[in-house]
Amino acid sequence: MNKTLTPRRGSDRPRRTPRGTVPVRPLQGRLSFLARPRTLVVCLVLALTGVLTLAVSVSVGDYEVPLAAVPGAILGYGEHLDVFFVQGTRLPRALTAVGVGAALGVAGAVFQSLSRNALGSPDIIGFTSGAATGAVAVILVFGAGRLGISLGAVAGGLATAAAVYLLAMKNGVQGYRLVLVGIGISAMLSSVRDYLMTRAELTDALGAQIWMIGSLNGRGWAEVVAVWAAFVLLGGVLFALGRRLRFMELGEDTARGLGVDTRGTQIIAFATASALTGAAIAVAGPIGFVALAAPQLARRLTRSGGTTLAGAAAMGATLLVVADLVAMRALAPTQLPVGVVTAVIGGTYLIWLLYTEWRGGRA
């Protein structure tokens, strides 16, 4: 007796979800996506750490505000001086730090994803240097104010991104070419800045040099609105590209096989991340190493093999808020520029990263 074998349909087989993810089906199953519980927990812990640090940073200073009075002062209740210092000076500075840190973290994650290189951050491949050069040029040549500095920083970042992309493009953008070209252009832009500094008046050169360190001193609500508007608009575009970026980390051929427009994704991501970097630098100056360290630390904490834009944003915001608190209170009787603290943290991390890469290569 012959048996008729009916082939099993593919839809009858249970689908396997990637390791470390759980399926989420809200709206009665009409929407489904995969979530990583570890990533969610890490982001929540970082957010809690950032909120607690923000509360401490708005309470300390020459005029101490009790921590219990901080929530009321933020909402406009309580002692008049508490409300004045919290809402007028300290809260805008802290919110600016959160926005700048999140923007740099997301931009660094995008550049590292596109280059598939741990050193592929705006600091290393020249985009930070390009934005800083544009800002210094409008300060020293045109004597521009805050709006002109912002426009110069964004224009400089976009121009540098275009130059690096065109010079590194050869059958697609390769990570090592992108890093090497970016380092070369960064060195050239540094020479341009030095030349402009030598030709400027002493007071203008001193102001530009202070701005070049990177600082959050004196930042107000105008800077909060500017950096958060840039993060919502430009960061939203990058988050929308997150799935494509993860596919491109598998290689351009694989990504094209999965239906990803690799060239268009590269151009949009490069331009958007460069504009986001320029917006952050326009508000706070060229704060170094946050864009380098935040994505890598987030990836290690979440144990993710791909881009973690949300984790990078949370890590960048937390790093910068903590660094600003240290710069305000822990290192000197007067406030230090936050760029000094991030340089120490980021430089230490870069040395550790290079050491671990060297050990891995020898192994």
Q: What is the pTM of this model?
A: 0.82
What per-residue confidence (pLDDT) applies to 101?
93
Q: Is residue 143 left, alpha or beta, with left meaning phi > 0 and alpha meaning psi from -120 to 50?
A: left
Which residues partner with 59 through β-bridges?
none
Give 211-228 as a DSSP string. Answer: HHH---TT--HHHHHHHH
* 343 part of a folded domain: yes
Which DSSP symbol is given to 326?
A: I
What pLDDT is recorded for position 4? Answer: 44
Low-confidence stretches of the chain (pLDDT beneath 50): 1-15, 27, 31-33, 363
- Residue 146: the pLDDT is 72
Helix (H, G, I), strand (E, B) or coil at 34: strand
What is the predicted pLDDT for the residue at 316? Answer: 92
pLDDT at residue 12 in the model: 44
According to the model, what pLDDT value does residue 18 have?
52
Write the CA distances from 39 to 25, 183, 218, 282, 311, integer angstroms: 18, 32, 34, 30, 7
3-class DSSP state of 172: coil
Residue 338 lies in a domain: yes
Is 182 part of any domain? Answer: yes
* CA angle centred on 326, ends 322 and 328, rounded to 5°: 115
Query: Residue 23 pairs with which residues in a beta bridge?
Result: 34
Half-sphere exposure of 98 (CA within 13 A, CB side): 24
Q: What is the predicted pLDDT for the residue at 3?
A: 44
pLDDT of residue 166: 81
Question: Is 18 within the bounds of a domain?
Answer: no
> In a 3-state reduction of DSSP, which class is residue 79?
coil
Residue span of the structural domain in which 347 resides: 87-356
Kindly give the residue spans of alpha helices, DSSP state H, lying in the chain: 37-59, 70-75, 80-85, 91-115, 127-140, 146-168, 175-199, 202-213, 221-240, 242-248, 252-257, 262-284, 290-302, 309-325, 338-362
Reduced to 3 states, what is the DSSP secondary structure of residue 132? helix
Number of domains in the chain: 1
The predicted pLDDT at position 333 comes to 57
Cα within 13 Å of Cα(189), Cβ side: 28
Tell me whether residue 280 is in a domain: yes
Both tokens assigned to 138:
């409008």
Distance CA 227, CA 249 (A): 28
In a domain, 25, yes or no: no
Q: Supply the pLDDT for residue 13.
A: 45
CATH number at residue 328: 1.10.3470.10
What count of other Cβ atoms lies within 10 Å of the Cβ of residue 73? 24
Is residue 14 in a domain?
Answer: no
Residue 318 located in a structural domain: yes
Three-state secondary-structure class, residue 201: coil
